[in-house]
Amino acid sequence: MSTRDAFLPVSKEDMRQRKIDQFDFIYISGDAYVDHPSFGHAIIARLLESRGYKVGILPQPDWTAADAFKALGKPRLAFLVSSGNIDSMVNHYTAGKKRRSEDLYSPGGIRGKRPDRAVTVYCNRIREAYKDVPVIIGGIEASLRRFAHYDYWDDKVRRSILLDSRADLLIYGMGEKPIVQIAEALDAGMEIRYLTYINGTAFVTSELDNIPESMMIPGYEAVSESRRKYAEAFMVQYREQDYHTGKVLIQPHGERFVVQNPPAAPLTELELDDIYSLPYTREYHPDYQRQGGVPALDEVKFSLVSQRGCFGGCSFCALNFHQGRVVQSRSHESIVQEAEALTKDPDFKGYIHDVGGPTANFRHAACEKQLKEGVCKNRQCLHPSPCKSLKVDHQDYVKLLRKLRSLPGVKKVFVRSGLRYDYIMADKNDAFLKELCQHHISGQLKVAPEHVSDRVLRYMGKPGKKVYNAFVDKYFYMNKRLGKEQYLVPYLISGHPGSDLQAAVELAEYVRDMGYNPEQIQEFYPTPGTLSTCMYYTGLDPRSMKPVYVPKTPEEKAMQRALIQFRNPKNYELVYKALVAAGREDLIGYDGKCLIKPRQNRPQQNRPNTNRPNTNRPGQSNPRARRR
């Protein structure tokens, strides 16, 4: 563990030891303090420190009283507030709205260290403690709630988080460029109310006289009353998230207006390299040692972030709204240098756990046009099929992986970030797939087809089933060529908009033919900022304004999930009910195509399930029997 002095100060004692009378910025985070570049608070705080500002960290303060927010005194320039790496509501609740048993971003994984709607609660406590200090909010919770948004937990449309939190300014997306501009302006003596010109920010105003060319979108009252207006407003927001072409957006909230400036420009390779070269300790703060550390660090401590952004365009993903579609990559030299530092860590065992980002095999912008003119507003790069202008090339990633695995002290380099298999299939050169299978997985590869119904996949923004099946064939063929016995573990989503019981049964039949239970199943979780959440709330596909079927009742969502896990005896009644409701009683019987047996022969929970395959590694029972 690094010494306390290597971390940013977190207490008055730290301030005395370092002879700091007053911080310039105090960063309040819903996460425990982990000084690692996978944690947003570490990046922003270290960046400000590198520019000469004194920054204190106040992690997980007691939100029940304002005194806890006075622990480090009053900052000279501003409070910075984030809920942490995850939206606090997602952190606390499952898709079924049940309380989670642990919080991986808290010491010892203990839950209850942050409030629901952490950004709003923290900001209001700051206002009680200090009425005249600028408050700037950022991170994913603030970023995705910058406009009026559907809130799954309240099941209603909520106002912009700017109004509920009473913050002065909101930074959305990746905040490095905006926070430096803001710091310089505040340090020069500008009042925060005049900082209305910075890209990548949003604010509230009562006057629109000085707002440049802009677009007005349906207001909070309109989108609360009309689901069609909500879909219209969302689609404008969705299409204006490009730094080249994005316009200023204005959304009325009563007599006030939420104003979003265009997105900040992506970081250049040099700028991204600089961010990752800051003096992170790559450890959790030593105060957490007695509590067992911070579990979230375990997954990323020996992983390498190689890029940001994603042009995949999955409807259920908020990346378009947060990181953006333009991929930004670090240089090989920067990543290799970080890997060499990992090998000197006493806990390093020779294994780099991941080299990736939102999508591991995206290492460059989708096309030259994106860099010069911006992303297409009405066309995705990969869906419904790869764009003719898409640059499909894995060579740079292959070269990077080769460099990393040749480093002294490195035994194995894994790729565990998501891979777009449709992008792999679009590559005429099989070098990446070969090297992936030969060197960078261990026994199984996790991929995300998400579903197999082409109708549902269209709503998801994912490739059709044929593309996945073709990838499965190619993957197993490649492993056979290499003399390796390796398998696929598919991620699947149940209950997504567009999925009715017939589609859910189709997915269950696919699982039946795979011969084993999928390891990863996620019930669709409507979170702010995604196209799928807009469909869930409005019942409309905002791209076409046509109705879309949405499974909403707890019973139907439970049936759709149970169908994927039909081999589990506990799911028998739900599966039976779903098959009858779908008119698929032909799947209740004794032959090989049936999912369950008739009621009188249903498996008992206290005896072995004869439908279950052997207990070998997922996929080992019959890796080739994946479909009829």
Continuous H helices in 294-439? 296-300, 319-322, 332-343, 368-373, 395-405, 421-426, 431-439
Q: Which residues contact 232 (CB under 8 A, 6 or more apart)?
A: 217, 218, 542, 545
pLDDT band at 601 (very low <50, low <70, confident <90, very high): low
Going by the DSSP 8-state scheme, the letter that residue 492 receives in this structure is: E
Considering the chain, what is the average pLDDT of its residues? 93
pLDDT at 602: 65
386 is written with which tokens?
């790869």
Name the percent of the chain in helix, strand, coil, to the closest 5: 35, 15, 50
Q: Is the pLDDT of residue 203 over 90?
A: yes
Residues 291 and 97: their CA atoms lie apart, in Å, by 28
Residues 91 and 136: their CA atoms lie apart, in Å, by 22
Residues 298 and 211: their CA atoms lie apart, in Å, by 46
| Tokens 């909010």 found at | 137
Q: Which residues contact 98 (CB under 8 A, 6 or more apart)?
A: none
Q: Tell me the whole-structure pTM to 2 decimals.
A: 0.93
Q: Between 465-482 and 431-439, two packed helices, what is the crossing angle to 10 degrees? A: 60
Nearest partner of 42 among 55, 24, 53, judged by Cα: 55
Q: Is the pLDDT of residue 604 over 70?
A: no
| Tokens 């309240």 found at | 154
Query: Domains, the chain, ranges and CATH?
Result: 4-204 (3.40.50.2300), 443-628 (3.30.750.200)
Q: Is the pLDDT of residue 624 over 60?
A: no
Residues 447 and 445: their CA atoms lie apart, in Å, by 6
**pLDDT tens-digit series, residues 51-63:** 999 999 999 999 9
Residues 91 and 84: their CA atoms lie apart, in Å, by 9
**pLDDT tens-digit series, residues 342-354:** 999 999 999 999 9
Q: Which residues contact 625 (CB under 8 A, 6 or more apart)?
A: 513, 514, 515
Q: Which residues contact 296 (CB under 8 A, 6 or more apart)?
A: 31, 34, 85, 104, 105
**pLDDT tens-digit series, residues 62-114:** 999 999 999 999 999 999 999 999 999 999 999 999 999 999 999 999 999 99
- Using DSSP, state whether 338 is helix, strand or coil: helix
Residue 308, strand partner residues? 328
Q: Which residue has the higher pLDDT, 124 or 599?
A: 124
> DSSP letters of 580-601?
HHTT-GGGBSSSTT-SB--GGG
**pLDDT tens-digit series, residues 283-317:** 999 999 999 999 999 999 999 999 999 999 999 99
Residues 99 and 90: their CA atoms lie apart, in Å, by 10
**pLDDT tens-digit series, residues 553-572:** 999 999 999 999 999 999 99
- Spatial contact of 267 and 328, defined as CB atoms under 8 Å apart: yes
- Annotate 455-480 with three-state secondary structure: HHHHHHCCCCHHHHHHHHHHHHHHHH
Strand 283-284 versus strand 34-35 pairing type: antiparallel
Residues 336 and 369: their CA atoms lie apart, in Å, by 30
Nearest partner of 164 among 122, 218, 224, judged by Cα: 122
pLDDT band at 588 (very low <50, low <70, confident <90, very high): very high
Contacts 24+ apart (CB under 8 A), 62-71: 63/114, 63/115, 63/118, 63/121, 63/122, 63/125, 65/125, 66/125, 66/126, 66/128, 66/129, 67/129, 68/125, 69/28, 69/122, 69/125, 69/126, 69/128, 69/129, 69/130, 70/129, 70/130, 71/11, 71/12
Secondary structure element (H or E) that encloses residue 152, with its range: none
Residues 49 and 80: their CA atoms lie apart, in Å, by 14
Residues 519 and 619: their CA atoms lie apart, in Å, by 10
Burial class (CB in 10 A: 0-12, 13-18, 19+), 413: buried
Residue 204, strand partner residues? 258
Strand 149-151 versus strand 135-137 pairing type: unpaired
pLDDT band at 455 (very low <50, low <70, confident <90, very high): very high
**pLDDT tens-digit series, residues 106-135:** 999 999 999 999 999 999 999 999 999 999
- Annotate 407-442 with three-state secondary structure: CCCCCEECCCCCCCHHHHHHCCCCHHHHHHHHHCCC
pLDDT at 434: 97
- Spatial contact of 535 and 548, defined as CB atoms under 8 Å apart: yes
Q: What are phi and psi of 201, to 5 degrees?
A: -130, 165
> DSSP letters of 175-233?
-HHHHHHHHHHHHTT--GGG----TTEEEEES--TT--SEEE---HHHHHH-HHHHHHH
Residues 238 and 236: their CA atoms lie apart, in Å, by 5
